Amino acid sequence: MSKDRHADRTVVVTGAASGIGRGIARRFGDEGANVVVADIQREPKQGARYDSDVTTPTDVVITEETSGEATYVETDVSDADSVAAMVEKAVETYSGIDVLVNNAGIQIAGDSQSTSVQEWQRSIDIDLSGAFYCAKFAVPHLVERQGQIINIGSVRGFEGGGGPPYAAAKGGVVNMTRDLAIELGEDGVRVNCINPGYIETPLQDINTDEDVAKAEEHTLLPRFGKPSDIGDAAVFLASDEAAFITGANLAVDGGWLAHSGL
């Protein structure tokens, strides 16, 4: 399989400055893509459990193996105007968009009583509305190139857990994927969703040692996932090898959902 199967393609990855987004952006960079790092963070986040070796947003992409380019565009996905400006900048820089990866997201721990109204709205704005805004403004450019949308959902979108706003938002992402696939299929635009299980990123810093132990028991394979595992799935779904796959929800979860009976 060619290492440069995404050479000269333009890929927008939201939330790419750290975590899963970083893993996705790096894999596309490794395969020759020009990557737009769309993130609100100017300094990539470093978690207590998971160290980061990057100091600027474009460092998540550029390595000795990279044959593509990277451009950072400061983006607040919860703000439609910010998203529209990011898409415009991506098109201005690289003359179009081939792949949109809706990855940006947050998780707020808590239940229905401890989660504030403001926390609920912030989570929905970023995790769900942000994916819609990005799709809305990118679709005309994706249609021009018969491109792809890859949404990042979660196993929580199928089984619940992770807090009411997170579960609700990710469930929405799962079904929005299907709806967009129906809408855009006749235009040759494929839309799929990757649903990670427990992935080792700074997002997991909210978990206690007890939470981690429970996650280990629930994951069928003898390790947790890594951002590169999600990146591998993303570069596949965006490739010609996946040319007849659309509207799909791919679990990259080490068997988590199988353990749940889903």
Name the residue type at position 49.
R
66 falls within a domain: yes
260 falls within a domain: no
Task: Name the active-site residue from 50, 94, 166, 198.
Answer: 166
* Sign of the alpha-carbon torsion through 133, 15, 43, 202: positive
Rank 125-134, 155-164, 211-220 by mean pLDDT and report only the highest.
Answer: 125-134
Lowest average pLDDT, out of 52-56, 72-76, 148-152, goes to: 52-56
Query: Average pLDDT in the 154-167 region?
Result: 94
Lowest average pLDDT, out of 10-14, 86-90, 114-118, 204-208, goes to: 204-208
| pLDDT > 70? residue 126 | yes
4 falls within a domain: no
State pTM to two decimals.
0.92
* Sign of the alpha-carbon torsion through 33, 34, 39, 44: positive
**pLDDT per position as a tens digit, 216-244:** 999 999 999 999 999 999 999 999 999 99
Q: Which of 48, 73, 70 lies closest to 59, judged by CA?
A: 70
Query: Average pLDDT in the 65-91 region?
Result: 92
Angle at 91 between CA 90 and CA 93, to 5 degrees: 65
Name the residue type at position 19.
G
Residues facing residue 74 across a β-bridge: 39
155 falls within a domain: yes
- HSE-up of 49 (CA within 13 Å, CB side)? 13
Residue written as token pair 């949404």? 151
Name the residue type at position 194.
I
Domain around 193: 10-253
Q: Are 163 and 204 in contact (CB under 8 A)?
A: no
176 falls within a domain: yes
Give the rounded percent of residues in the chain with a pLDDT score beyond 90: 78
Domain CATH for 239 = 3.40.50.720
Q: Which of 134, 122, 123 lies closest to 83, judged by CA?
A: 134
The rounded distance, in Å, linking the Cα atoms of 85 and 164 is: 31
The two three-digit tokens of residue 199, written as one number: 């992935």
Q: Which of 230, 250, 257 lies closest to 177, judged by CA?
A: 250
218 falls within a domain: yes
101 falls within a domain: yes
180 falls within a domain: yes
| pLDDT > 80? residue 61 | no
Q: How many domains does the chain have?
A: 1
Q: Are 207 and 215 in contact (CB under 8 A)?
A: yes
Q: Would you call 166 a catalytic residue per the annotation?
A: yes
